[in-house]
Every structure is written in structure tokens, then in C-alpha cells.
């Protein structure tokens, strides 16, 4: 084992080592960060930190918790640990096991917790968790110190010299930085907290059956799979409500569950505690479940099964649902309709929503379960819509024309304030009746799973549109949410404000 390898320990190992060293009268200093691109600012920070004690321990954020923007970290946790361990001033290095240093502080119990000068404003730290860490430092009887020297940003250096962005994106970001200040952008996310939002739509449970491919069956022309594991996620309107609840001040959900195979306990457990749910019952039906079979090696989807009843709702249920909904409509700034075309959004509800909603944002999804019958044109009026390219083309029955005239045509027909079409890796385009057509390129991301990315984009862009933000900002916020969502398997977790703030901060540095 080399001298560098000897320095790299697990958190639990360092907890024991720290206790032994403190018993010998040694003063322990802990530093923590991402250290994605080791630079002179880091070296001076570590040098100054070491001056406060005898032993310097450095913990670094693991790859899975680095939310600094597209294609981050640039260097894996192993390489970052080796780089830190190669420095003479470090005595030990550990790869943290949590998103923050909170648990590590409690286990290692240093005498000094050292942070850089840029973290001094604990109260004003909108993107980090230094405030929580400062509380834990007090809890364990340690001292929080701030080093003071030149400050460089790894994110800025990576954006300037190591970016994987396209030329189009680099040019776009250069122009974007001249139009908007970072604090101004982050303040817009904070302002979303003033919104009262109602989410209406289909509850969908996404079940992932993970399996390994065995090959062709010996008796039938089918692929044989070996079961490995399974997961279930709260999708559809549930996922959208969870995204919205991380930003808006008040969130109410109107949706439908099945009379059998209801899964209500699971659903309520997965909902953000801020959400006030109103669940109606579809008689004689299961809660909608989409079961996907996933190749465990490539994470490619092999097959999908829909478990649902998409027959029209009984008139009695439809009437009761609309009556309850009508009582709530005027109490919200924004009504988001997650219309997956599986039955809850009836013609009578469409009429109600289009006529009595203060600000109506709609996504009509085209999927295998509605075979192209669920298009935005069934709504007489919407204020904002977000559609994927194929959904817009279905509405216009136009497979080949440029998207711009199609977006304008549909927007004019619906009397929109703002319309949006997403184009996958090409980004999104937006149009409103009083200004020019705007295109916002997409951010590079390590794609894990595209399921739910459109829902995240729609959720955030709908709130931005309701606030009256410029269409460029609506597309920008939506694309950031989508870039974060494709890095998540299914709807395993929702997009949070802090993750958005960190991503935007790193991208615009």
C-alpha cells in the first residue's frame, strides 16, 4: 500500500482514529468540500486550516451527491481523494457518505471545522448547508473557523476550460450572463414560494422490474429475463405535485385512485408533507400502474404493461369530481393539469378548467395508453402549455413542417399567454403573442432515465410562466429541471429548489 493509499480511510475508520489521536492530545481539523478541480485556492485553504491544529482530515462529497451542474463531477471521487491525499498537508482523506458534512462531523468530532472565506455569510448561504453544519459544530463542542485568502471557483474554471457544452450552449450562456445577474435568477426561485398551486391529473404508479437478460427462450420466440429487483415510484400527477411542493408555498392535489389495488398508503407516504391531497375513487378499477421491465446492465426498457381501466368515468363520479373542483378553483394562483389521457380529465372537467381557472397550465401527454387521442386541442383555452415535439405535431397533424409556425398556430387557437415545445437534446422553444419566438438550448446531462423529465420541466416552467417571467427564463428554468430529472431513476426523488440553485450557480459562474 502506497503512502497515498494509507491516507484514504472510511468515515467509520476515521472516527476511531480521531478518537485515539484526541486521546493523545492532538487537535483535529476537518475540511469538507467537493474539490472537483484542485487549484491554488484549495491548497491555501488547506494550508491555513492545518495551522489551526495538528491533524488535518479532509472529507469530500461523493459523486452521487455532487449537484454542481451538468457533467459534474469532472473527476470521480476516487481521483479526487487521491489528489487530496497526495498533498503534504493532509493527514487523512475520506469520501463522505452523505450529502453534507453533518453526520461526518458527529462521527469524527473534530476540534476545528474549517471552511473557506466564501462561506462566511452563514445566513445568506442559499445554495449550501453551512448553516446546518454550523449548528452541528456547536452541538459537538467544536469551533467553526473561516480561512481568508484568494478564492477561486472550481465551477468557473471547469466552465471555462473543461466544459463539454456545445458551442451553441457556451455562446448562449455568455449572452445569458450579460442579461441576468445570478442573485436575480436565484431570487426568482425564492419568489415561487408565494404561489398557491392546484395540481389536477392522473395518478400513475411506475413499477420498475429490474432483470438480467438470459437470452432467447428455447421454446418460444421471446426474450427470457432473470429477476433481480423491483422498485415502485409515485408518478403522473403525484410526481408533478411533489416537484411543485419544493417551490410553491401551498399545494393541493386532485386525483383519482382505484377502488381495488389502491396503493393509497404507499401514495400518501411518497407525497410531500406540504401537499393537501383530495383522492376520488374510480369504481371497480385499479389505481393506474405502469410496469416496465428493465435490463439491469444497460437500464434499457424491454417492455411495458399498463394496468388500468380507461373506460369513461360514471356520470355520477364525474359530476361529484367537477363540483368539488369548482369549489377550489378560485383559491389558487395557478392550476396545473397533468393530463395523461387515462380518464380523470373528462370533457366536463376540461370545460370547467378552461372557463374558470385564474391561470391554467396544461400538458397533454401522448403515450401508448391513449394512442394519439389525447391532444391539447380538446381544451378551448389555456394560459400556458408545454408539449413535446411529437405531441405538438399530433395536434397539428403535421409531421414535417418547422416547429415555429406550428407552435404559433396552436398557441393562437388556444389564446395562450405563453406556449412551449420541448425538443429533447435540442432544448425547447417558446412563443407568446406579444414578443418574439425564443429558443433555449438544453444542458448536457448524464442520462440515467428519461421517464419523468418532461414532468419536472413542465412543473417548474408552469410556475415561472404564471409569475410572468420572460419566456427565456421560463425555458431556462424548465431545462435546468429537466437536466436534473434525467439523472434520477424513475421518480425516485423530486427536483428541489436547492438542487436547482446549485445547478444554476455552478452553470453561471
Site of grid cell 392550476: 335
Q: Is 176 exposed, middle or buried (0-12, 13-18, 19+ CB in 10 A)?
A: middle
Q: Report the alpha-carbon distance of residue 41 to residue 119 in Å, rounded.
A: 14
Average pLDDT, consecutive stretches of 10 residues, N- to C-terminus, the chain (509 residues): 86 94 94 86 88 94 80 84 92 93 93 80 57 88 81 52 66 90 94 98 95 89 91 96 97 96 95 96 94 89 92 92 91 96 94 94 94 93 97 95 95 96 92 89 77 92 97 96 88 90 85
Q: Residue 478 is inside which H or E element, if any?
A: helix 471-485
Q: What does the alpha-carbon distance between residue 226 and residue 208 come to, in Å, rounded to a whole number?
A: 14
Nearest to 414 by CA among 496, 353, 503: 353
Closest CA to 501 of 132, 69, 195: 69
Q: Is 313 helix (H, G, I), strand (E, B) or coil?
A: coil
Residue closest to 385 by CA, chosen among 482, 483, 493, 471: 471
Please state the φ and ψ torsions of residue 259, each to the nearest 5 degrees. -75, -30
| CA–CA distance, 74 with 34 (Å, rounded to integer) | 11
Share of the chain residues as helix, strand and coil, in percent rounded to the nearest 5: 40, 25, 35
pLDDT at residue number 394: 95
Instruction: Report the predicted TM-score, pTM, of the whole model to 2 decimal places.
Output: 0.78
Sign of CA dihedral 441, 448, 70, 454: positive
H or E element, residue 22: helix 11-23
Domains and CATH numbers, the chain: 3-161 (3.40.50.620), 187-203+235-286+308-508 (3.40.1190.20)
DSSP per position, 126-155: SSS-HHHHHHHHHHTT-EEEE--S----HH
- Give me 28's grid cell: 483535529
- Give the rounded distance of the alpha carbon of 290 from its chain centre: 21
How confident is the model at residue 120, as a pLDDT? 60
What is residue 127's predicted lDDT score, i.e. its pLDDT?
47
Q: Which residue has the cell 493509499?
A: 5
Given CA atoms 68, 69, 75, 78 in this order, what sign does their dihedral have? positive
DSSP type of residue 312 = P
DSSP summary character for residue 26: P
Close Cβ partners of 222 (under 8 Å, ≥ 6 residues apart)? 216
Amino acid at each position: 500500500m502506497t503512502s497515498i493509499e494509507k491516507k484514504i480511510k472510511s468515515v467509520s475508520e476515521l472516527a476511531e482514529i480521531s478518537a485515539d489521536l484526541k486521546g493523545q492530545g492532538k487537535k483535529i481539523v476537518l475540511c469538507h468540500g467537493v474539490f472537483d478541480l484542485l487549484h491554488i485556492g484549495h491548497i491555501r485553504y488547506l494550508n491555513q486550516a492545518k495551522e489551526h491544529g495538528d491533524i488535518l482530515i479532509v472529507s469530500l462529497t461523493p459523486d452521487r451527491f455532487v449537484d454542481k451542474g451538468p457533467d459534474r463531477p469532472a473527476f470521480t471521487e476516487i481521483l479526487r481523494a487521491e489528489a487530496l491525499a497526495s498533498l503534504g498537508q493532509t493527514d487523512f482523506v475520506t469520501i463522505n457518505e452523505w450529502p453534507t458534512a453533518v453526520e461526518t462531523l458527529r462521527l469524527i468530532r473534530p476540534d476545528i471545522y474549517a471552511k473557506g472565506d466564501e462561506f462566511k455569510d452563514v445566513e445568506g448561504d442559499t445554495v449550501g448547508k453551512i448553516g446546518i453544519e454550523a449548528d452541528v459544530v456547536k452541538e459537538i463542542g467544536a469551533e467553526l473557523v473561516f480561512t481568508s485568502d484568494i478564492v477561486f471557483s472550481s465551477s468557473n474554471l471547469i466552465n471555462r476550460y473543461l466544459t463539454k457544452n456545445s458551442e451553441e450552449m457556451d455562446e448562449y450562456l455568455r449572452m445569458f450572463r450579460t442579461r441576468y445577474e445570478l442573485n436575480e435568477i436565484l431570487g426568482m426561485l425564492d419568489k415561487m414560494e408565494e404561489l398557491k398551486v392546484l395540481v389536477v391529473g392522473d395518478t400513475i404508479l411506475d413499477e420498475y422490474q429490474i432483470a438480467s437478460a438470459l437470452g432467447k427462450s428455447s421454446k418460444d420466440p421471446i426474450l427470457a429475463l432473470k429477476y433481480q429487483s423491483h422498485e415502485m415510484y409515485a408518478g403522473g400527477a403525484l410526481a408533478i405535485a411533489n416537484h411543485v411542493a419544493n417551490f410553491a408555498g401551498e399545494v393541493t392535489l386532485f386525483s383519482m385512485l382505484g377502488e381495488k389495488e389502491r396503493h393509497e398508503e404507499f401514495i400518501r407516504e411518497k407525497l410531500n408533507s406540504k401537499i393537501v391531497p383530495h383522492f376520488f375513487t374510480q369504481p371497480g378499477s385499479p389505481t393506474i400502474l405502469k410496469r416496465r421491465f428493465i435490463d439491469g446492465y444497460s437500464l434499457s426498457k424491454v417492455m411495458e404493461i399498463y394496468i388500468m381501466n380507461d373506460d369513461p368515468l360514471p356520470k355520477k363520479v364525474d359530476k361529484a369530481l367537477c363540483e368539488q373542483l369548482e369549489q377550489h378553483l378560485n383559491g389558487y394562483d395557478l392550476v396545473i393539469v397533468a393530463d395523461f389521457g387515462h380518464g380523470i380529465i373528462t370533457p366536463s372537467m376540461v370545460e370547467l378548467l378552461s372557463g374558470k381557472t385564474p391561470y391554467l397550465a396544461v400538458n397533454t401527454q401522448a403515450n401508448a395508453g391513449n394512442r394519439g387521442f389525447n391532444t391539447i386541442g380538446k381544451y378551448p383555452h389555456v394560459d400556458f402549455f408545454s408539449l413535446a415535439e411529437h405531441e405538438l405535431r399530433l395536434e397539428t397533424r403535421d409531421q414535417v413542417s418547422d416547429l415555429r409556425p406550428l407552435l404559433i398556430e396552436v398557441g393562437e387557437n388556444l389564446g395562450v399567454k405563453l406556449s412551449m415545445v420541448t425538443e429533447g437534446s435540442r432544448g425547447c422553444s417558446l412563443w407568446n403573442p406579444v414578443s418574439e419566438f425564443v429558443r433555449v438550448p438544453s444542458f448536457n446531462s448524464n442520462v440515467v432515465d428519461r421517464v419523468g423529465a418532461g414532468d419536472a420541466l413542465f412543473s417548474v416552467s408552469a410556475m415561472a410562466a404564471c409569475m410572468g417571467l420572460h419566456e427565456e427564463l421560463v425555458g431556462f428554468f424548465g431545462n435546468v429541471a429537466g437536466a436534473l430529472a434525467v439523472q434520477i431513476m424513475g421518480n425516485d426523488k423530486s427536483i428541489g429548489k436547492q438542487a436547482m440553485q446549485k445547478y444554476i450557480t455552478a452553470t453561471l459562474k
